[in-house]
């Protein structure tokens, strides 16, 4: 059996096994076992992939498998991975693994919780391995819908409102997306041959430019909504703040990356001409996301809201980089997705753990956490430093690459936007250090906090996994960016064939 | 008539025989043993369903009035599946003491309408079409008023019969114009000479208005909510699934076979109607508290989606319509089955009564959730595939903006479908519906619809089989 199919099969089997568990302990054990297998599989996949590449296999996608599903519509179950998707799968494997251990003590309806969580992961894994636009869309929606139950049942605060808002906005996004994908399908064969949903086959032809102009905004915004594109980002702060810990982790860490990945893999890759024409509109919007998200985070008092706005800023940077449309920026975008995925998951895990002890997320009600919970405090600082782009951690590598890529454009418009976007780094430093100062250092404001325990083993396991990954990327970024770079070439070639001319506002 | 002719009409003849057998049995059987009629009728209909699936020939009878093709047999089989599930789900309700006196009437009336639908789908001329339509309609009105001691049920019956009569009148007027302008009522002959002359367009508009009543498309939908609410829940599910399905089948056949020369015109007409239908159905469904009314408006919106497939005017379009109706039968019957089971055992029908249902009746809640997801078009259940293929068909005709409007409507509909999920899974209450166990027949009905919701989507052979039989515009 193809190793990639296992990425869908293992979670499905795990969910099925959870149905038969009797209590929380069994449930979490089964879930942890399943997701550990998944993490090991991801590691194996990374090594297999590198081995294939070293052996000289230059195919665009590796480990491909193709089965005809609906013959009359030419829908296939077509899977395959390149360096980018391998990296995303590894990210997902790590975050899901950490997420299971971060929600180790989920007592309320634990079976249902873990099943929904793992179903969500199934959708994400399926999305990243898909080469067929139909199955890609199918998995995309599978990943979105469990969010409603996860937030609505196990969330906190105005959870019903947030869950509904998130679900409807994301489904609205898939409404746009569907129009885009159908249009791509019906123009996938300019010479009257059979139509196809296959990403690689479509990339070999040129969709007529006037159709691209019509379809690109649908596709890009459709994916962009999930990537927190301004002004469609409003689901994200509410959704993240209300969601339970593991769900915030998975959602900000992985699910939002579906948006960036899709915008890149489908919208820009398949419709480069329209992307170049319309990039300026979306560059402005994503520029706003980046800066606005960072400033939004400064004003927040709730730890989760801070991190949610910071996610808007960081994910905005992903889309920003993607729209710069050169190899360095693309590379930075992928690195940023992975870096942000790990770091935001770590943040949400820590916030969940702190909230579980202090029962508040308001920073002005807390203080001196470092004194009572040194482990959590230190990890929080590490996450914060990664987020503000300290060299040696993953955030620095990603953001540097993005800004280098963006600055390769010599015109005023791009440079201006790039400089504006870099201000977000400063603002990020402000809100991160402010939180660290008030929350971790400073006096202990509430004497109840003196008796709080530090992290338990499962919490340490969860956070250390993420810290290790962040540090690994920060210290040795090249093996990852090399892996990505090779796979970027076909995409960059396609774009440069389309003729790079910026017809922007200025 | 030869044996072969009988075989061509086996759907109709068998069902007539079954109805007659039930009628006679009802007379013969002692009042004490009357309850045996229910399993007997269900068993007979199960046989009918199975026989329907045996391979069928193509043929024409009565000089072209009646014709059958594998496609038409398939449509009848789809309806049979729906009716079989409804019969299973009606078990607890028919067995109630107050229905004991007239339980065989329920089956006989139901089968009579189904016979009408068979003839309607098989019709080769407008006379047979009209006869089938009326045979299908009148017994339903009697069924809607089945529990006539309840005012609402009686009102539903009267409303249905009056609005049907009006719509039949409109339809007949259209048919008479068609006859007047072409000199024929046979589909083939009408199709050959039909053009977009003003009178023929007018005739077509009358025809489509009459059909719009039957499928409850906006602005001809006003009877739907009241009738659905008043009628017994199993009759409502029959109306919303089988009746609507049959009318959609004949509409797509007539549009494709008879009015194909007016393709541009009916595409525009359907465009407007479908946008209206989706919006009105969805917006009215948003605020409904009564589950039957809620499902009524949701089914109006679903009819708007069905039109999307028809508008393609291609083989793919017809396939997607038939496929969607099959999916819709399973999904809607899943939802109605749960509503019926709950109403039969507790009498509760409001959405707020469903609060906290998952804690007490997890299996019912899960099925309801699947049905809601399927109706909303959420993967991995079949509804996603059904909707996706409808949208694909519409996009194949270049109607991208319509697809966009439709998908937006699907998102709106997701809101109210999620409200039901929210009630069952998230809302808390001190007085949830107590745990109960349905009888085995109801459970079988629910399991069948649940199975359909799951299997029909993934199992691509279903779609391909339908596609192999479908046809485009002639």
CA dist A234 and A6 (Å) reads 35
Partner A contacted by B416 (CB < 8 A) = no
Chain A: residue nearest B319 by CA? A72
CB-CB neighbors (< 8 A) of B463 in chain A: 70, 72
The confidence band for B1, taking pLDDT boundaries of 50, 70 and 90, is low
Helices B460-469, B70-89: axis angle to 10 degrees equals 140
CB-closest option in A72, A149, A168 to B415: A168
Containing H/E element for A7?
Answer: helix A3-19
Cα separation, B457 vs B243, in Å, equals 23
Q: What are phi and psi of A80, to 5 degrees?
A: 170, 160
In whole angstroms, what is the distance from residue B46 CA to residue B358 CA?
A: 32
Confidence band, pLDDT 50/70/90 cuts, at residue A228: confident
| Tokens coding B119 | 């003839």
**A201-210 long-range contacts, Cβ below 8 Å, gap at least 24?**
A202/A133, A202/A270, A203/A269, A203/A270, A203/A490, A203/A494, A206/A273, A206/A498, A207/A270, A207/A271, A209/A273, A209/A274
Domain presence at residue B474:
no
Question: If you ran DSSP here, which 8-state letter would residue B432 be given?
Answer: P
CA distance B238 to chain A (A): 30
> Chain B window 383-402: which residues touch A at a Cβ cutoff of 8 Å?
384, 388-389, 391-392, 395-396, 400
Q: Which of A72-86, A354-368, B153-167 has the lowest mean pLDDT?
A: A354-368
Check pLDDT > 90 for residue B427: no
Q: Does the CB of A138 have a partner CB in chain B at under 8 Å? A: yes
Q: What range does the domain containing B285 cover?
A: 3-469
CA neighbor of A338 nearest in space, from A473, A479, A237: A473
Cβ of B319 within 8 Å of Cβ of A72? The answer is yes
* Interatomic CA distance for residues A112 and A108, integer angstroms: 9
A12: contact with B, CB 8 A cutoff: no
Q: Which residues of B touch A218 (CB under 8 A)?
A: 404
What residue in A sits closest to B392 (Cα-Cα)? A182
> B231: alpha, beta or left, given left = phi > 0 and alpha = psi -120 to 50?
beta
Q: From the list B400, B410, B467, which residue is nearest A175 (CB)?
A: B410
Residue A223 pLDDT more than 70?
Answer: yes
pLDDT at A498: 66
Q: Tell me phi and psi for residue A267, to 5 degrees.
A: -65, -55
Nearest partner of A229 among A337, A340, A330, A319, judged by Cα: A319
pLDDT at A502 over 50: no
Find the mean pLDDT for residues B168-191.
Answer: 90
Candidates A180, A81, A71; CA nearest to A133 is A180
Structural domain count of chain B: 1
Residue B339 lies in a domain: yes
In sequence order, which ranges of B286-396 are alpha helices (DSSP H)? 291-310, 315-346, 357-360, 362-376, 382-396
Q: Which among B380, B404, B410 is the nearest to A142, CB-wise?
A: B380
The Cα-based distances of B288 to B199, B297, B358 in angstroms read 41, 8, 21
Nearest residue, CB atoms, A72 vs list B404, B410, B467 = B467
Distance between CA atoms of residues A254 and A311, nearest Å: 11
The H-or-E segment that residue B94 falls in is helix B91-94
Predicted confidence band at A155 (pLDDT cuts at 50, 70, 90)?
confident
Contacts of A138 in chain B (CB under 8 A): 379-380, 384
Q: Which two tokens stand for residue A175?
A: 């409404």
pLDDT reading at B432 higher than 70: yes
Residue of A317, A301, A173, A172 whose CA lies nearest to A241: A301
Report the pLDDT value the prediction gives residue A504, as an integer from 0 to 100. Answer: 38
**pLDDT tens figures, A483-496:** 888 888 888 888 77
The structure's pTM equals 0.92
Mean pLDDT of chain B: 88
- Give the pLDDT confidence of B287-327 residue by residue, as tens digits: 888 888 888 889 889 999 999 999 988 889 999 999 999 99
The DSSP 8-state label assigned to residue A311 in this structure reads H
3-class SS shares of chain A: helix, strand, coil, % to 5:
75, 5, 20
Is the minimum CB–CB distance between A412 and chain B shorter than 8 Å? no
What ipTM, to 2 d.p.?
Answer: 0.90
- Which of B426, B463, B466 would best serve as a mutation to test chain A binding (most A beta carbons within 10 A)? B426
Write out pLDDT tens, residues A265-274: 899 888 888 8
Strands B59-61, A62-70: parallel, antiparallel or unpaired by DSSP? unpaired
Rounded to whole angstroms, the Cα distance separating B282 from B289 reads: 14
Q: How far is A187 from chain B (nearest CA, A)?
A: 10
Instruction: Name the B residues in 304-333 with CB < 8 Å from any A CB.
Output: 316, 319
Instruction: Determine the Cα–Cα distance for residues B442 and B339; give it in Å rounded to an integer.
Output: 11
Q: How far apart are CA B314 and CA B319, in angstroms?
A: 9
Contact of A179 with chain B, judged by CB distance below 8 Å, is answered with yes
Q: CB–CB of A238/A297 below 8 Å?
A: no
For residue B125, list its beta bridge partners: B186
**Helices marked H in A227-271:** 235-242, 245-250, 256-262, 269-270
Give me the residue from A72, A168, A183 closest to B411, CB to CB. A168
Distance from CA of B362 to the nearest CA of A (A): 11
User: Is residue B262 predicted with pLDDT exceeding 80?
Assistant: yes
**B426 φ, ψ to 5°?**
-105, -45
Looking at chain A, which residue has its C-alpha nearest residue B400? Answer: A179
For residue B418, which residues of chain A lie inside 8 Å, CB to CB? Answer: 148, 164, 167
**Residue B124 backbone dihedrals phi, psi, to 5 degrees:** -115, -5
Q: Does the pLDDT value for residue A505 go beyond 80?
A: no
- Decide if A390 touches B, using CB distance below 8 A: no
Task: Please determine, for residue A325, whether its predicted confidence score (pLDDT) is greater than 80.
Answer: yes
Q: Does A503 have pLDDT greater than 50? A: no
Query: Closest by alpha carbon to A146, among B378, B375, B362, B361?
Result: B378
- B368–chain A Cβ distance below 8 A for any pair: no
B139 closest CA partner among B14, B235, B18 = B235
CA dist B126 and B185 (Å) reads: 5
The nearest CA of chain A is from the CA of B393 a distance in Å of 10
Provide the pLDDT confidence category of residue A500 given band limits of 50, 70 and 90.
Answer: low
Q: What is the dihedral of CA A142, A146, A148, A150, to 10 degrees?
A: -160
Grouping H, G, I as helix, E, B as strand and the rest as coil, residue A150 is helix
For residue A138, give how far its alpha carbon lies from the nearest alpha carbon of chain B (Å). 6
Judged by a CB distance cut-off of 8 A, whether residue A69 touches chain B is: yes
């Amino acid at each position: 059996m193809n190793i990639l199919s296992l990425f869908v099969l293992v979670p499905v089997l795990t969910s099925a096994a959870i149905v038969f568990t009797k209590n929380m302990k069994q449930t979490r054990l089964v879930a942890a076992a399943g997701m550990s297998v998944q993490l090991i599989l991801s590691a194996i996949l990374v090594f297999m992939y590198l081995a294939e590449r070293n052996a000289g296999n230059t195919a665009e996608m590796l480990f491909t498998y193709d089965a005809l599903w609906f013959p009359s519509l030419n829908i296939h179950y077509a899977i395959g991975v390149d360096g980018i998707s391998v990296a995303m799968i590894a990210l997902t494997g790590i975050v899901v693994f950490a997420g299971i251990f971060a929600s180790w003590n989920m007592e309320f309806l634990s079976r249902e919780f873990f099943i929904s969580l793992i179903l969500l992961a199934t959708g994400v894994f399926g999305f990243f391995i898909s080469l067929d636009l139909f199955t890609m869309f199918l998995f995309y929606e599978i990943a979105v819908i469990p969010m409603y139950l996860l937030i609505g049942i196990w969330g906190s605060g105005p959870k019903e409102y947030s869950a509904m808002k998130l679900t409807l906005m994301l489904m609205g996004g898939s409404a746009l997306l569907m129009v885009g994908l159908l249009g791509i399908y019906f123009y996938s064969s300019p010479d009257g041959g059979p139509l196809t949903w296959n990403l690689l086959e479509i990339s070999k032809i040129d969709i007529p430019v006037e159709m691209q102009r019509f379809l690109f905004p649908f596709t890009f915004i459709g994916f962009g909504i999930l990537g927190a594109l301004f002004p469609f980002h409003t689901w994200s702060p509410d959704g993240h703040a209300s969601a339970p810990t593991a769900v915030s982790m998975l959602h900000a860490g992985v699910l939002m990356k579906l948006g960036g990945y899709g915008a890149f893999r489908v919208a820009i890759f398949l419709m480069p001409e329209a992307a170049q024409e319309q990039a300026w509109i979306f560059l402005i919007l994503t520029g706003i996301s980046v800066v606005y998200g960072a400033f939004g985070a400064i004003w927040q008092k709730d730890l989760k809201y801070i991190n949610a706005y910071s996610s808007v800023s960081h994910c905005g940077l992903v889309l920003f980089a993607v729209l710069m449309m050169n190899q360095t920026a693309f590379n930075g975008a992928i690195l940023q997705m992975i870096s942000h995925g790990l770091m935001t998951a770590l943040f949400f895990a820590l916030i969940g753990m702190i909230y579980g002890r202090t029962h508040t997320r308001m920073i002005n009600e807390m203080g001196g956490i470092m004194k009572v919970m040194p482990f959590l405090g230190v990890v929080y600082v590490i996450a914060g430093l990664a987020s503000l782009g300290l060299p040696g951690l993953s955030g620095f590598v990603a953001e540097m690459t993005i800004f280098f890529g963006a600055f390769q454009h010599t015109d005023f418009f791009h440079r201006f936007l790039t400089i504006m976007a870099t201000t977000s780094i400063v603002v990020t430093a402000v809100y991160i250090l402010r939180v660290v100062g008030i929350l971790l250092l400073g006096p202990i404001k509430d004497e109840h906090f003196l008796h709080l325990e530090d992290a338990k083993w499962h919490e340490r396991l969860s956070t250390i996994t993420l810290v290790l990954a962040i540090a690994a990327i920060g210290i040795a970024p090249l093996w990852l960016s090399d892996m990505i770079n090779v796979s970027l070439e076909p995409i960059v070639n396609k774009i440069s064939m389309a003729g790079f001319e910026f017809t922007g506002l200025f | 008539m030869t044996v072969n002719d009988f075989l061509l009409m086996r759907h109709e003849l068998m069902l007539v025989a079954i109805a007659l057998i039930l009628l006679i049995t009802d007379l013969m059987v002692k009042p004490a043993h009357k309850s045996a009629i229910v399993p007997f009728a269900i068993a007979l209909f199960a046989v009918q369903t199975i026989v329907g699936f045996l391979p069928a020939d193509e043929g024409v009878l009565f000089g072209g009035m009646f014709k059958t093709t594998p496609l038409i047999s398939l449509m009848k089989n789809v309806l049979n599946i729906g009716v079989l599930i409804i019969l299973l789900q009606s078990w607890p309700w028919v067995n109630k003491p107050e229905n004991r006196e007239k339980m065989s009437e329920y089956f006989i009336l139901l089968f009579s309408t189904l016979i009408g639908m068979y003839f309607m789908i098989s019709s080769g001329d407008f006379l047979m079409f009209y006869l089938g339509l009326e045979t299908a309609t009148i017994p339903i009105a009697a069924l809607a008023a089945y529990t006539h001691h309840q005012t609402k049920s009686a009102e539903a019956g009267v409303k249905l019969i009056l609005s049907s009569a009006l719509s039949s009148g409109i339809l007949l007027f259209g048919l008479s114009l068609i006859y007047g302008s072409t000199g024929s009522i046979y589909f083939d002959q009408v199709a050959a000479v039909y053009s977009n002359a003003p009178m023929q367009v007018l005739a077509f508009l009358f025809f489509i208005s009459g059909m719009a009543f039957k499928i409850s498309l906006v602005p001809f939908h006003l009877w739907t909510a009241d009738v659905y609410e008043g009628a017994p829940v199993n009759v409502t599910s029959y109306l919303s699934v089988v009746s609507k399905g049959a009318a959609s089948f004949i509409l797509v056949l007539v549009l494709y076979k008879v009015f194909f020369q007016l393709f541009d015109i009916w595409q525009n007409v359907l465009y407007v109607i479908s946008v209206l239908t989706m919006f009105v159905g969805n917006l009215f469904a948003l605020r409904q508290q009564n589950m039957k009314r809620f499902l009524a408006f949701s089914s109006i919106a679903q009819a708007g989606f069905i039109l999307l497939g028809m508008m393609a005017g291609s083989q793919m379009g017809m396939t997607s319509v038939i496929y969607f109706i099959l999916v819709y039968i399973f999904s809607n019957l899943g939802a109605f089955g749960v509503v019926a089971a709950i109403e039969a055992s507790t009498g509760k029908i409001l959405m707020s009564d469903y609060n906290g249902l998952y804690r007490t009746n997890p299996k019912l809640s899960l099925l309801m959730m699947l049905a809601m997801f399927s109706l909303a078009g959420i993967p991995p259940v079949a509804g996603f595939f059904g909707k996706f293929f409808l949208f694909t068909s519409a996009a194949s005709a270049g109607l991208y903006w319509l697809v966009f409007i439709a998908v937006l409507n699907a998102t709106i509909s997701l809101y109210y479908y999620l409200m039901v999920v929210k009630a069952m899974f998230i809302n808390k209450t001190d007085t949830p519906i107590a745990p109960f166990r349905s009888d085995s027949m109801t459970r079988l009905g629910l399991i069948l619809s649940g199975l359909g919701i799951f299997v029909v989507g993934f199992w691509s052979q279903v779609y391909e089989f339908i596609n192999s039989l479908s046809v485009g515009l002639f």
